[in-house]
Structure 1
Amino acid sequence: MKNNLKQILLILTACFTLLSCDNDFLNTDPLGEISQAAVWTDPALADAFVTGIYQGLGNGGFDEQMLASLTDEAIFTHPGRGITTITEARTNSADDGWVNNTIFWANMYSYIRRANIAIENLSEPQFPNTNGVVDRLMGEAKFMRAYYYHQLARYYGGVPLVDRPYGLGEETYETPRNTWEETINFILADLDDAATLLAGKNMASGRASELASLALKSRVTLYAASDLHDGPTASAKSSLLASYPNLDLVAYPSGNRVERWQKAQAAAKAVLDKGIGNLYGLSEPVPHAEGIQNYINNSLSRNGGEKELILGRYFINLKQENGGRQGLFNGPNGYNNWAGNSPVQLLVDDYEMMDGSKFDWSNPEHAAAPYENRDARFYASILYDGAQWKPRSSANQPRDPLGQIQTGTYEVSTAGGGKETHFGLDTRNSPIEDWNGSYTGYYTRKFVDPDPAIVDQNTWQEVPWPVLRYTEAVLNYVEASLELGQEDEAKAWLNQIRFRVGQPAITSTGDQLVDDYRNERRIEMAYEEQRYHDVRRWMIPAETIGRKANIINIIGTLKPGATVSVYRYDPTVYNYDYEVQLIDPGKENRTWLDKIYFTPILRDELNRNTLLVQNPGYD
């Protein structure tokens, strides 16, 4: 025992001697980590740090719950996700409902901090600007900071502008909200710097570029010029905003709106001049079938459609991120998918006829065959009853050998010569995952890879999310031109969008032209996180997203003498009856209150920063 104790004491004495003689022992860097100081001495490490700032993009808009379900585009099928908290206007400072991480206050500021760290260290670089690497990284960091601030601004209004990384021991970490004007100016300054720094740089896919900086500037200036952010206009249209004592936090209290629209037009034109888009410059509509394929290509960013993308969030099968599961999240339950963000009838009805006329249920021809002769984008975006889709799984092909969408109830013949009801395989009465059936009678096709091998939750897809695309800038240019009274210029560009999908030219003028433009934007940009913001900034939510969601009920009855043992869509055999109904208010009861123009700042944030002022309509 004594010998053991002696050995232990000798070992301890040796350890203390080593520690006292070599102070560097305590300062050894962890072998599995890199110090922040080292990052900014090595261009490769600095590049990796800046790459990490992009993580705030998340899955883009490709999460299971999509922003579309907070609008008159879709309804979310599954309960308990916070969607109805917003659509029923029940948001408050303790519960803001479903908020994606790509817009969540705390998450955005965490990535703004990362951008600030990069900007601070790159301002006095410790490695040479070989091949413009410092300029490129600084440009990317400034773009991403602008992007995250723009996300905060379009949901919350003016926000605290933090332009440096806070450290330990600060006198205070509280800071007030900046005004709307200050916030917009800050974002635009970053984007101007980013565009200059990134000019001429050959950027990899999925990274900021000069064109991306110009495109985001186009979006930000368009929002800034819109009704919601013009104090006098907003006050005239909303008593809540008129009574808000801090209106400058969410709008310009005064100023020249014409100049704002001119800036928006110029910003959009800069994108048009530098980008190319896909299939612009047509002088007449393409054939209808070609128009369908063109829109599919644009949505999937393939076969020329990749030219539409200015900035995309890309996905690869090897990584298996949720952004590659849109087919699973939104596809039909009869294909073992989840039907998440199902289109509502309000959206379906806004797709024009092939000849450019409006669809109308009071028109007997339209009502008898509502899915015939519609805008090509309808067929490329919506899965409807009778639509030809993929082969079903081997277990379910005997029930549907043709691979057609079934969202109704239909008569089929029995062996004894009678009739019985066949519930569509893609309904909530289906024998296949009925709990995942659509409530609306529709499913989303847009952004879903049509490859027959990509059918259900066992497969993934590689379709990028369009963070920014060329056609958005074209539509921004059209809107600004209309606001400035330049109708011919607006129509010239608007019709180029329509021609590539086979729709005829718009010839209307005045208020009707504005309505036609807004519908065109709705259809062209469906499911791209545009509608949520558009109806707010136009200040038309009560007559759009405030409407009750509606659905289609379809019944197919066999024609006299017809017999069918396995159901198939066939108007020569069946009479189809289509009835539009409001969705059960127990499922969702949409309501609009003006407080929903902006997202509430959560109570936790208000408690952390007592200088914050809450948005209008919230306690």
Structure 2
Amino acid sequence: MKELNDYPYIIYRQLPVLGEKNHPLCSSQEGWDFIYEDLKFAAEHLPTKDKVELGCLSSGAAYGMLARAMLYAERWKEASDAAAQVMNQDYELYEDYGKLFTNSRLVPVENKESVIEFGYLKDKFTYSFDYFYCPPSDGGYAEISPTEDLVSSYQMADGSEFDWDNPEMAANPYEGREPRFYATILYNGCQWKGETLYTYEGSKDGFGLGGGTTSTGYYMRKLMKEAIQPKGTSFTGQGDLTYYYMRYAEVLLIYAEAMAMQDKLPEALDALNQVRRRAGFTKDLTAATQTEFMKLLRHERKIELAFEGHRFWDLRRWGLASTVLNGTSMHGVKPIKVGDNEFTYEVVDIDGGKTRVWEERYARFPIPLGEIEQNEAVQQFDEWK
């Protein structure tokens, strides 16, 4: 339902009779009700986190998924109630945002932020994430380049906004930023695997359009294992970090959004500020209206959950994709070396002067052609005919 944005499914409450192909689609309401019933049943019958083995789903996991589902359904009371169930169990924010994403099953740590996780084990169940996304000097393919549009969204450590028009900030753009920036982004002059990483043109990890290296002046740090792939060795079988499908921080942000949409701003702000305090901010945010709060909430989800698979779906469910992703272009930063370890920075268009396109029909996917051909009771959506 999330991916297809209220896509009406066919619901089978019992095994279908063999050969019966023509089944009508359910309504959006019926689809969300079915999901609610399933997850609520699971949440009420699964054991709590403290009574399940590592890697097994708990009541908190089911309530977390229920909260996420109801957020997408815009059923705010059900979303906040489900999130509150998680908040009343044995979960809390891990104290260090950066270290959170370097946890490995091989070195168990007490981490009460994990709600649903995939734990990888070296030489048994591993991944090739670093191989595809790390800088080329590591032997990788650099297939993800964080945009300047994201990087500029990271605030200064004191909570003020970063601004390229501020001469002091522009001269040293990577000094004094909030801790989540350093845990998420590799930038020109940062330390990576015991060396200084440079992204100016001509360096081994330098800026360049066309693939194989950064096209924005940045690489991703979050979700990458700094100890992996020493020079001259293979990536094979080395990936063993924990990937979080759902974290307690997301649950707090779900609760915050759902409470705000019920005009309960004090509760919403408290949940939002819990996430920000863990990020190192000492001054709590305030908002007098729902509109003001949602601006803060959208920023926080963009930063806190970066590279965890939420941004696209958030923009679409908020109805913002048609403005953020349409008629716009993405940007990067080209470091220019002007002396020994001295640089200036130029913000550049990385889309070659072209603009991105988002059509209104992208708000939901078309029904697969194979489904229509096999089921006479199903018709394609008008916008996709």
Task: Give the counterpart of 1:404 among 196, 203, 210.
Answer: 196
Q: Percent identity over the alignment?
A: 30
Task: Give the counterpart of 2:333 among 548, 552, 560.
Answer: 552
Letter in 2 for 1:604: G
> Matched residue of 2:196: which SS?
coil
2:298 is aligned to 518
Question: What is the 5 A alignment of 1:263-302?
Answer: 263-279=78-94, 294-301=96-103
Distance 1:451 1:370 in 2: 27
Paired residues of 1:299 and 1:305 also in contact (CA < 8 A): no
Paired residues of 2:91 and 2:112 also in contact (CA < 8 A): yes
Residue 617 to residue 404, structure 1, CA distance change in 2 (3 Å): farther
Q: Say yes or no: does 1:426 pair with 2:205.
A: yes
> Matched residue of 1:362: which SS?
coil
Shift of 1:589: 4.5
Distance 2:243 2:17 in 1: 35
1:444 is aligned to 220
Paired residues of 1:278 and 1:305 also in contact (CA < 8 A): no
1:365 is aligned to 168
Runs of at least 5 residues in structure 2 that lack an aligned partner in the other structure: none
1:486 is aligned to 264
Paired residues of 1:174 and 1:611 also in contact (CA < 8 A): yes
Residue 509 to residue 606, structure 1, CA distance change in 2 (3 Å): same
Letter in 2 for 1:315: Y
Shift of 1:597: 1.3
> Matched residue of 1:388: which SS?
strand
Shift of 1:602: 2.3
Question: What is the 5 A alignment of 1:531-550?
Answer: 531-546=311-326, 547-550=328-331
2:365 is aligned to 599
Task: Give the counterpart of 1:327 among 112, 120, 130.
Answer: 130
Shift of 1:269: 0.9
Shift of 1:223: 1.0
Letter in 2 for 1:209: S
Distance 2:370 2:313 in 1: 25
Letter in 2 for 1:408: Y
Question: What is the 5 A alignment of 1:180-219?
Answer: 180-199=28-47, 202-219=51-68
1:416 is aligned to none
Distance 2:93 2:136 in 1: 34
- Summarize deviations over 1:580-602 as a string: whole Å, max 9, x none: 1111348x742111111112222
TM-score (normalised: structure 2):
0.90
Residue 483 to residue 332, structure 1, CA distance change in 2 (3 Å): same
Residue 180 to residue 345, structure 1, CA distance change in 2 (3 Å): same
Distance 1:595 1:541 in 2: 11
Point out the more displaced range, 539-548 or 299-308: 299-308
1:91 is aligned to none
- Summarize deviations over 1:425-457 as a string: whole Å, max 9, x none: 112669xxx951121111111111122656663
Paired residues of 1:218 and 1:473 also in contact (CA < 8 A): yes
Distance 2:323 2:160 in 1: 21
2:12 is aligned to 162
Paired residues of 2:184 and 2:222 also in contact (CA < 8 A): yes
Distance 1:314 1:616 in 2: 43
> Matched residue of 1:542: which SS?
helix
Distance 2:193 2:374 in 1: 52
- Summarize deviations over 1:243-281 as a string: whole Å, max 9, x none: xxxxxxxxxxxxxxxxx32222112111111141224xx
Shift of 1:605: 2.3
Shift of 1:553: 1.1
Question: What is the 5 A alignment of 1:452-467?
Answer: 457-458=235-236, 460-467=238-245
Residue 156 to residue 582, structure 1, CA distance change in 2 (3 Å): farther
TM-score (normalised: structure 1):
0.57
Paired residues of 2:228 and 2:238 also in contact (CA < 8 A): no
- Summarize deviations over 1:162-199 as a string: whole Å, max 9, x none: 2344464x3x1222221111000001111111122213
Larger Rg: 1
Paired residues of 1:385 and 1:405 also in contact (CA < 8 A): yes
Task: Give the counterpart of 1:343 among 111, 123, 146.
Answer: 146
Letter in 2 for 1:439: S
Letter in 2 for 1:381: T
Q: Say yes or no: does 1:578 pair with 2:370.
A: no
Paired residues of 2:48 and 2:60 also in contact (CA < 8 A): no
1:220 is aligned to 69
CA RMSD of aligned residues (A): 2.4
